[in-house]
Chains A and B, each alone.
Chain A
Amino acid sequence: MPRSLWSGSLSFGLVNVPVALFSAARDTDVHFHQLHEPDGARIEVRRFCSEEDEEVAFEDIGHAYELDGGKTVVLTDAELAAVAPERTRTIEISSFVETASIDPILYDHPYWLLPTGESAGTKRAYRLLVEAMGSTDRVALGRFVLRTKEYLVAVRVRDGLLSLTTMVFPDEIRATKGIDTGARKPAKESLSQAVKLIEALGADFDPGKYKDEYTKRLKKVIKDKEKGGTIDAPEPDDEPAPAPDLLEALRASMAEIRKQR
Chain B
Amino acid sequence: MAPRSLWNGTIAFGAVAVPVKLYSAVESKTVHFHEVHLKDGARIEHRPFCSKEGKEVDKDDVVRGFEVRSGTYVVLEKEEIDAAGGTRSRIIDVEAFVPLDQIDPIFYAKSYFLGARDEGADAFRLLHDALKETGRAAIGRFTFHKREYVVAIRAYDKVLALHTMRFADELVGRKDLDAPRAGAKPKPKERSLAEKLVESLSEDFRPGRLHDEYREAVLGAIRKKARSGKDIELPEEGEREEDGSDDLSAVLEASLA
Contacts and interface: CB of A to CB of B under 8 A. Distances in A.
A143 B119 CA distance: 45
A214 B147 contact: yes
Contacts of A85: 213-214, 217
Interface string A167-209: 0111111101011111111100011001101110111110110
Interface string A95-119: 1111001111111001010110111
A178 B1 contact: yes
B99 A205 contact: yes
Contacts of A105: 25-26, 108, 111, 156, 161, 163
Contact of B52 (A27, A36, A65): A36
Contacts of B97: 198-199, 201-203
Interface in A141-170: 141, 143, 145, 149-150, 152, 158-161, 163, 165, 168-170
Interface string B60-90: 0111111110000111100111111111111
Interface in B118-167: 118-131, 133-134, 136, 139, 141, 147-150, 156-159, 161, 163, 165-167
Given A129-B194, A201-B96, A152 B201 contact: no
A220 B39 CA distance: 49
Interface string A211-233: 11110011011100110000111
B81 A242 contact: no
Contact of A15 (B107, B131, B161, B251): B251
B66 to A, nearest CB: 5
Nearest to A148: B214
Interface string B181-203: 11111100011001101110111
B15 A18 contact: no
B64 A26 contact: no
Contacts of A31: 66
A25 B171 contact: yes
Given A24-B172, A48-B44, A208-B168, A86 B61 contact: no
A253 B15 contact: yes
Interface string B17-46: 111010111111111111111111111111
Interface string B166-183: 111111111011111111
Nearest to B17: A240
A78 B83 contact: no
Nearest to B89: A236
A157 to B, nearest CB: 11
A236 B26 CA distance: 28
B35 A64 contact: yes
Interface in A50-88: 50-52, 56, 60-67, 71-76, 78-88
Contacts of A185: 125, 129
Contacts, number: 583
Mostly helix, strand, loop or mixed at chain B's interface?
mixed
A152 B211 CA distance: 9
Contact of A169 (B25, B204, B211): B211
B63 A35 contact: yes
A96 B115 CA distance: 34
A159 B248 contact: no
B139 A239 contact: no
A159 B182 CA distance: 12
A81 B238 CA distance: 12
B253 to A, nearest CB: 9
B241 A8 contact: yes
B66 A176 contact: no
Contact of B210 (A39, A170, A252): A170
Contact of B12 (A86, A198, A240): A240
Interface in A124-142: 124-129, 131-133, 135-136, 138, 141
B16 to A, nearest CB: 5
B159 A242 contact: no
Interface centre among A11, A112, A125, A136 (most CB of B within 10 A): A125
A129 B190 CA distance: 10
Nearest to A45: B46
B10 A89 contact: no
A83 B221 contact: yes
Contacts of A89: 238, 240-241
Contacts of B63: 34-37
16 contacts: A11-B241, A32-B81, A51-B40, A64-B36, A89-B240, A121-B244, A127-B182, A163-B106, A174-B23, A180-B115, A181-B159, A212-B169, A214-B148, A226-B74, A240-B17, A242-B120
| A-B residue pairs, 5 tightest by C-beta | A253-B14, A13-B255, A123-B183, A242-B120, A182-B125
Given A204-B99, A220-B84, 8 more contacts: A12-B255, A30-B66, A36-B63, A61-B36, A95-B202, A123-B180, A210-B167, A242-B10
